[in-house]
Structure 1
Amino acid sequence: MLLILISWLYIAWTIHLWGTAGNHVLRLKISLPIVQTTTGLALLTFFAGTWSIFGRLHWEFHSILLVLNLIIAWRYSSEWITGIRQTIHRFTSLNLFLKSYFIGIAVLILAQCASAPYVIDNESYYLQNIKWLNEYGMVKGLINLHFFLGQLSGWHIAQSALNFSFLYDRFNDLSALFLLYGVFFSVQQLQQYFESGKRHQLIVGLFPLTSVLLFQFISAPSPDVVVYVLTFVIFFLFVEHYANPSSEVFIQLTLLVLFTLFVKNTAMTLALLPAYWFVVHFKSLKSSFPKIVLLCSLTLGLFVAKNLIICGVPVFPSKLFSGNYFDYSLPVEIEHFYYEELKKYGYFLTTENYDSFSKWELFLRWLQLPKMNGLFNKLGIALLLIAPVFFLKIKEKAYRVLYFVLLIQMGLLFATSPQYRFFMNGILWLGCLGVSLFFYKRKTIHTLLLISAIPLLVFVFVPVNLNRFSNYKFMLALSHFESEYIISPHANSKYDMTFEKVSEGNLEYYSPINHDFFWGTYNGPLPTVNKDQVEYFKTYFHLIPQQRSTDLKDGFYSKKLPHDAKRTP
């Protein structure tokens, strides 16, 4: 815990500096601390992403980053020092209950992220993507080694830029820090709600009630946490300035949306919000168009460059853009296999069953899934059906716009991969909206916050196995805090895995021993891939991953084996 806290202090200072510089250079006139923080983190992520195209995010990167930090600190000394003083003032001005509540949640967040990571994706590609960025930067055709590595998120770029891997190998806690920022923003808005009575402040103020669902993600660099927090911030800005958005707020909203999309493109429907503003308020917002074009070009350019380097295609996964653009492009047949598996994954169906089901039957199957999946699927649909009733009491048009954006998001998920976590931001926001209609008095809200903290205490300090609640075969037991983590956190992987060295053609790789997770790579040395996975694609597709040269930095390609017959997987 202590080491994580020390690293957070440097990270917070760094992104505060970058946010201060971004605020000044782009002339954004940011009033919300979390918007300035996110602006700084976004600019730092774009810088790190550009750097990783040409080199690794290692001590060289951090040396330049430190120099830039010192330059920014000198150039904008009065602004960033004033910003810190204002943050301290905002904290000290909270009422005693909210101040105590925030401190308690902060300690629990710190304890949770010092514990073993929970998210299974951490063991398949989070750790490996971050390690590749730290050791080599973006590597051509890395997807050919393990196609989950093609899902490299902007959040993993941010994490790899701020995990200090050259100093210590157990920092992977950026998601937890960002949740902490989100909770601080929410308690600030809750205090303001007690004074103003504005509903959108109450909705954000209820955000900590969702922590019981978010804690499972924060001990790993999960992009989902960022999407959930930023959805509340984006919706808050949209409602707050709906009637008359200034150019500065419009740029802020656009930057938040772009960063969210760079972190996770399943949140693409959020882009409808700045687009709506631009159309409705064109005359007053057209002056900001050059800055919007700059930000969009930077984000899109880095997104496409990332995909072209790692996947060999401009967008992954996508049937529209699939093709052999480079010698290291992922073979079309494997990309289509991945795309089809992604669609079936949300229904837990075999290929034969999926193909035989009608759209209505698929929907009913998805809705009737047992355990946690079915629960959140039903909850998402129920909230979408009930929400129009909310508008009998809520007259502001802004909420109706947000509702239609969430409807579109649900529709797109059904067309791609209907996993409930891809709509969880909508579930959480609609849930807080519904709660705000019935619980709006100070004492009641305080009571709800206290009650919601009880399961957090249980989850952090008591081992709980979620297998009984989930359909996922590899759902892990929730990690719990132990006294040995007070100074040094648990390793970045939940498992103390051993690896064997395997050869396939010119490729020598490491494969985990004694495990049953087909996609598992854990925290293995580079390059790591499950030998069963290599054999699978060799058998069914007659393709094997190979190095493009003797240097791992030159990347990988899929080599076609000289067999005519093909078996259908």
Structure 2
Amino acid sequence: MLSVILIWLYVIVTTYLIGYGFINIMLAFSKRGRATQKGSEKAYRFHSHTGYIMSGVLISTVYAQIWSIFDKVELNCHIFLMFFACIFGVVYRDKMSEELRMLLRIIRSYKSRILYLVVFFLMAYGTSNGIMHYDSDLYHAQAIRWIEEYGVVKGLGNLHVRLAYNSAAFPLSALFSMKFLQLDRSYHVMAGFFALVLAWECVELKSIIRRGNIIISDFARLAAIYYLFGIFDEMVAPASDYFVATLVFYIVIKWLDLYVRREHSYVPYIFLTFLSVYATTIKLVAAPLMLVASIPIYRLLNNRTKHKLQVFYASILGALTIAVPFFVRNVIISGWLIYPATVIDLFNVPWKIPKGVAEYDALEIKTFGRGFSDVPNHAHMSFPEWFPKWFSELSSFNKMVIILDILAILIYVLLSVHYILIDSKERTVGDKKITEKIFDINMRSMLRTGDFFAIGGTMITCFLFWMASAPLIRYGIVFALLTAVVILGRVVILLINKFDKRKKEVFFKSFTAIVLLWLAFKGVNLVAEAEKRFNPDYLLKQQDYGVYEVKPYEVNGVTFYYPSEGDRVGYEPFPSSPENLSGKLQFIGGNPKDGFVKIK
């Protein structure tokens, strides 16, 4: 736990400084992007300290990916990272000090500061030990170690196809594994760090008591808290599922907060677009979330000016900067732009994973996600054939969530039809005719409706994309939860607004009491489960990857390892593969750094 805390403090300082610099550069370039209030113009101010951290994490990830293309991610990588962090710290020291003092005034109460610290130490403990994800010992650990030892390697997917499942989470994990310190293990703290940032964002739920009313982002925060309780004993593993789910929750919560504030500036939406592109590079299941880009695109191109066009093109360049290193790593590792998708076939490199292998791998992922293991017999089942079995094997809670999703989609469709047929028609107010449009965001009266349809439609698209690809519940529970809470939460708030003052007060008190009881119940269960696996050793050091018995084999005179039983090897036996590949694999050059090709 202590090791996790020390690494997190280093991560917080470096990412905050880098993120602060990035956001301020972005604001300086977008200085004409104004938040308009009552006809006057007011320069947009960035409101989120966790936003600075997540911006820094994004930049650090892109940086680590680019570095890995040319060299291994180790000490030299950190030296340059700290150099840039220090530069930003010096340049923005006065402004940053002012904002940090403002932050302390905001959380000036002793109880608030204690709450944030309790969350910090609680998440650090959860990250220090727990259940190591099966896939982490199967290939996550090895993927991270390859980045630590060599950077990106040509045809690495030929050694193990799972190593071709490139994720931006792995270079980030390698960056902050502290392997370069030559300690007794490679630390894996960044999945827990993403959970920490989300947990800090969820602490804002306490404002519900001060506000005296419920806002739609409260429902998203409750869903996120439920998810965090669920992964508390698993976030010790560097699984990309946890990275992307916590990041998606964070993005949607921030989006809903903008919705509540009726934010008119395009600047924060550009930031969320960058984060959604980042989420996609972690796991492709998040790709539909990039629909958030429709908001800044509309605002920049509607009544466009020369400056707005400059911001638009700069935003495209920023998104490409985030995405391109991910795609380059894909091609180097597998020969495919997006492995295992073979629709886009642009490269004919010697180390390319055979098309048939990639296609079978894609079918296996989809089949497994639907709850089957026999690919030849179940890969091409229709929806009515696979859905009943898939649904029957869900837990009771997850069944309820899917049912709520179906209900939410129906309500969304009905509201859309109602709006198109009735609300969007011209209506007369005095001598003026007003045409209400869903995305006429310049009309303050319609901003709330437009944002609801935008975010609701995005969540439904994410949910349907997950269901159509590989609907394993751990891949897409975030979309299932958010689709329900965003759409049904909106309906609940509309119903509450129809209550009289007394009924509103009764509902609010009842809701608050239920939430507090639920949090207490989940908290007691969490402590009880943590007590069962308590190990005092983990108060100092983080739990290591799993250890497995392995056997050696050779490729071009270099010793590799494979498991004596099963298919997992963990981190330490390196390099390794799930099976003996003697006579099936060879180096492109004279050593592993040169890459791998299959022997035909």
State the TM bucket, normalised to the shorter chain: 0.7 to 0.9
- Give, in whole Å, the separation in 2 of the partners of 1:355 and 1:214: 30
For 2:379 and 2:190, the matched residues in 1 are separated by 40
2:93 maps to: 77
Q: Displacement, 1:315?
A: 1.4
The equivalent residue for 2:46 is: 30
CA contact (8 A) 2:267 2:296 kept: no
CA deviations on 1:218-272 (whole Å, 9 max, x unpaired) are 1112222333333233223433445553131121121121111122111111011
Conserved in 1, the CA contact under 8 Å of 2:138 and 2:569? yes
- Which of residues 142, 146, 149 is equivalent to 1:132? 146
Q: Which one of the candidate residues 362, 367, 370 is aligned to 1:344? A: 367
Amino acid at match of 1:160: A
Partner of 1:460: 530
| Residue in structure 1 matched with residue 432 of structure 2 by the alignment | none
Cα distance in structure 1, aligned partners of 2:201 and 2:266:
23
- Note closer, same or farther for the CA distance 1:138–1:377 as it changes in structure 2 (3 Å cut): farther
Q: For residue 325 of structure 1, what is the amino acid of its counterpart?
A: N
2:599 corresponds, among 536, 540, 559, to: 559
Deviation at residue 107 of structure 1 after TM alignment: 2.9
- Verify the 8 A CA contact 1:261 1:268 in the aligned structure 2: yes
Seen in structure 2, the aligned counterparts of structure 1 residues 123 and 18 have a Cα distance that, compared at 3 Å, is: same
Mapped partners of 2:130, 2:514: distance in 1: 34
- Hey, what does 1:235 align to over in structure 2? 252
Q: Which amino acid aligns with 2:384?
A: W
Paired with 2:373 and 2:205, the residues of 1 have a C-alpha distance of 44
Greater relative contact order (Cα 8 A, min sep 6): structure 1 or 2?
Answer: 1
Contact residue 322 and residue 335 of structure 1 kept, 8 A: no
Alignment correspondent of 1:383:
405
TM-score, normalised by the number of residues in structure 2: 0.80
| 1:56-95 paired onto structure 2 within 5 Å | 56-93=72-109
Note closer, same or farther for the CA distance 1:209–1:100 as it changes in structure 2 (3 Å cut).
Answer: farther
**2 CA distance for matches of 1:323 and 1:281?**
33
CA–CA distance in 2 between the matches of 1:204 and 1:365?
Answer: 29
The answer to whether the 8 A contact 1:112-1:481 is kept is no
Q: Which residue of the partner structure matches residue 249 of structure 1?
A: 268
Contact persistence 1:269–1:409 (CA under 8 A): yes
Shift in CA distance, 244/6, structure 1 to aligned 2, threshold 3 Å? closer
CA deviation vs aligned residue, 1:502-536 (integer Å, no higher than 9, x gap)? 125666311123x32x3x2311333111225x48x
Pair 1:270–1:193, CA change in 2 (3 A): farther
Matches within 5 A, 1:118-197: 118-167=132-181, 168=183, 169-191=185-207, 194-195=210-211, 197=213
Q: Can you list the C-alpha shifts for 1:132-165, whole angstroms capped at 9, x where unaligned?
A: 1111111111111011111121111111111211
CA contact (8 A) 1:142 1:150 kept: yes
Matches within 5 A, 1:464-503: 480-491=533-544, 493=545, 495-503=546-554
Residue 588 of structure 2 aligns with an amino acid whose one-letter code is: R
CA offset at residue 301 of structure 1?
A: 1.4
**Residue 462 of structure 2: aligned partner:** 409
- Secondary structure, aligned partner of 1:423: helix
For 1:382, the aligned partner's letter is L
Cα distance change of structure 1 residues 312 and 86 upon mapping to structure 2, 3 Å threshold: farther
Query: CA separation of 1:324/1:204 partners in 2, compared to 1, >3 Å: closer, same or farther?
Result: closer
Partner residue of 1:367?
A: 391
Contact 1:143 1:149 in 2 (8 A): yes
Instruction: State whether residues 251 and 291 of structure 1, in contact with CA within 8 Å, keep that contact through their aligned partners in structure 2.
Output: no
Aligned twin of 1:114: 128
**CA distance in structure 2 between the partners assigned to 1:505 and 1:61 by the alignment:** 30
- Alpha carbons 2:148, 2:179 under 8 Å: kept: yes
Q: Does 1:531 align with 2:579?
A: yes
Q: Do the aligned residues in 2 keep the contact of 1:102 with 1:183 (CA within 8 Å)?
A: no
The Cα shift of 1:430 comes to 4.3
Which residue is equivalent to 2:227?
210
Q: CA deviation at 1:192?
A: 5.9
**Structure 2: gaps spanning 5 or more residues:** 31-44, 416-447, 497-506
Letter in 2 for 1:358: S
**Contact persistence 1:499–1:524 (CA under 8 A):** no
Closer/same/farther in 2, CA of residues 3 and 236 from structure 1, 3 Å limit: closer
- TM-score normalised by L of structure 1: 0.84
Instruction: Find the counterpart in structure 1 of residue 426 from structure 2.
Output: none
- Secondary structure, aligned partner of 2:138: helix
* Alignment match of 1:333 (pick from 348, 356, 366): 356
> SS of 1:217's equivalent?
coil
Residue pair 2:69, 2:151 contacting (<8 A) in 1 also:
yes
SS of residue matched to 1:527: coil
What is the rounded CA distance, in whole Å, between the counterparts of 1:323 and 1:502 in structure 2?
34
Amino acid at match of 1:63: I
Question: Which moved further from structure 2: 436-445 or 45-54?
Answer: 436-445
| Structure 2 match to 1:522 | 570
Q: Which residue of 2 aligns with 1:468?
A: none
1:55 maps to which residue?
71
| Rounded Cα–Cα distance in structure 2 between residues aligned with 1:312 and 1:431 | 39
In the alignment, the residues of structure 1 paired with residue 226 and residue 106 of structure 2 have an alpha-carbon distance, to the nearest angstrom, of 21
Once the two structures are overlaid, the 10-residue window that deviates more, 523-532 or 54-63, is 523-532
Q: Residues 223 and 284 from structure 1, CA distance in 2 versus in 1: closer, same or farther, beyond 3 angstroms? A: farther
Preserved contact between residue 73 and residue 175 of structure 2 (Cα < 8 Å): yes
Summarize the Cα distance change of 1:295–1:74 in structure 2 as closer, same or farther, 3 Å threshold: same
CA RMSD of aligned residues (A): 2.9
Matched residue SS, 2:597: strand
The one of 304, 322, 325 aligned to 1:302: 325
Shift of 1:189: 4.7
2:114 and 2:227 mapped to 1: Cα distance? 18
Contact 1:313 1:323 in 2 (8 A): yes
Verify the 8 A CA contact 2:130 2:235 in the aligned structure 1: no
Once the two structures are overlaid, the 10-residue window that deviates more, 79-88 or 544-553, is 79-88
One-letter amino acid matched to 2:550: F
Task: Give a deviation string over 1:179-230, Cα, whole Å, max 9, x none.
Answer: 1111111212541673273513422442323322122431112222333333
Give structure 1 stretches of 5+ with no counterpart. 463-479, 539-543, 561-569
| 1:317 alignment partner AA | P
Taking only the aligned residue pairs, the percentage that are identical comes to: 20
SS at match of 2:302: helix
Q: Distance in 1 between matches of 2:380 and 2:76?
A: 54
Cα distance in 2 between the residues matched to 1:189 and 1:93: 16
